[in-house]
Amino acid sequence: MGVTRSFFIALSKNQALNSGAKRWGLKLGAGKVVAGTDIKSMMQSVKELNANGISATIDNLGEFVQTKEEATQAKEAILKTLEAIQVHGVNAHMSIKLTQIGLDVDPDFCLENIQEIVSAAANYDIFINLDMEDYDHLQQTLDILNVLLKEYDNVGTVIQAYLYRAEKDLENLKNVRLRLVKGAYKESPEVSLQEKKEIDENYLKLIKLHLQAPGYTSIATHDHHIIEQVKAFVKEENIPLHSFEFQMLYGFRTEMQKDLAKEGFAFTTYVPFGQDWYAYYMRRLAERPQNINLALKSLVSK
């Protein structure tokens, strides 16, 4: 892992900066990749995406919550967002990080919170994705998912291709709707591949496996090499278009997002919004140091 990547991942975990940033409003160029701080501005962005044939997965930003009060507030905000999706009639579902609704405070309390959310979403016929966080939270996230799957079918999660255990986890979740990603956190060589080439190879392998399994596949990447290889594979194997989609983050490769939707592929954009933008934005800078230009330009133009 390069020094720059480690540096931004360390910044993303800094508690003081995370809480300070909530008071700043969107700064450092984050407005390019975060769809505002309230439901109104986020809905505007979602409607624009829908007009281009693109669906949205909405992330009411927040993670690493340390108290029950904060977790309850986050749950209430998520329930409000679900209601807004219904009221506005937009084509959208939600992505949720379990640490935002109390995983670090008390896993049983977190389970109650996510059950309430998934149940409300089921009533609206809205899908809920459990985002995958760092390795320390992986098993707990899968355990909670498995409890939810006994009762609900509008829930799925993320498999990170950099992890050695990814293929096994994928195998156990054959029937489940999964988002496949390369992985965004800094993980140790004991648990994860470290070389980009190996991660890319494993990523493509997992995509091919899940495309041939019953569960829906969300291929979440900005990597055009991977996307081209997926296109070739689905054509060769006659994989139906309704069994998978591509996903990218809001503000990234916007033209390519529209082009893929125009080509007839199902496409979903990950739309983060809210005041808790800081850790999310630092991880994006870690992934793609070119994005630092966004941050620097916004500083000099102030």
Q: What is the CA radius of gyration of the chain?
A: 18
Annotated catalytic, 179? yes
Residues 6+ apart with CB under 8 A from 94: 57, 58, 59, 60, 78, 81, 82, 85, 121, 126, 127, 128, 129
Compare residues 68 and 162 and give the one whose CB is closer to ligand FDA. Answer: 162
CB of 69 to ligand FDA, least distance (A): 25
**Active-site residue among 59, 169, 177, 179?**
179
Is 153 in a helix, a strand, or coil?
coil
- In the chain, the amino acid numbered 149 is L
DSSP 135: G
291: Cα within 13 Å, side-chain hemisphere: 21
Residue of the chain from 12, 141, 217, 221 that contacts ligand FDA (CB under 6 A)? 221
Answer yes or no: are the C-beta atoms of 34 and 278 closer than 8 Å. Answer: no
- Chain centroid, CA 163 distance in Å: 17
Compare residues 68 and 298 and give the one whose CB is closer to ligand FDA. Answer: 298
Residue of the chain from 8, 127, 185, 244 that contacts ligand FDA (CB under 6 A)? 185
# residues contacting ligand FDA (CB under 6 A): 21
Compare residues 24 and 230 and give the one whose CB is closer to ligand FDA. Answer: 230
Compare residues 154 and 257 and give the one whose CB is closer to ligand FDA. Answer: 257
Main-chain phi, psi angles of 156, to 5 degrees = -155, -175
52: Cα within 13 Å, side-chain hemisphere: 20
270 binds ligand FDA (CB under 6 A): yes
295 binds ligand FDA (CB under 6 A): no
Kindly indicate which of the ranges 68-76, 78-86, 186-194, 245-253 contains the residues binding ligand FDA, using the contact rule CB under 6 A. Answer: 245-253
What is the footprint of ligand FDA within residues 124-183 (CB under 6 A)? 131-132, 158, 160, 181-183
Compare residues 75 and 97 and give the one whose CB is closer to ligand FDA. Answer: 97
Residue of the chain from 73, 213, 287, 295 that contacts ligand FDA (CB under 6 A)? 287
Pairing mode of beta strands 55-60, 217-220: unpaired
Task: Give the binding site for ligand FDA (CB under 6 A).
Answer: 131-132, 158, 160, 181-185, 220-223, 247-249, 252-253, 270, 287-288
Known catalytic residues? Answer: 131, 179
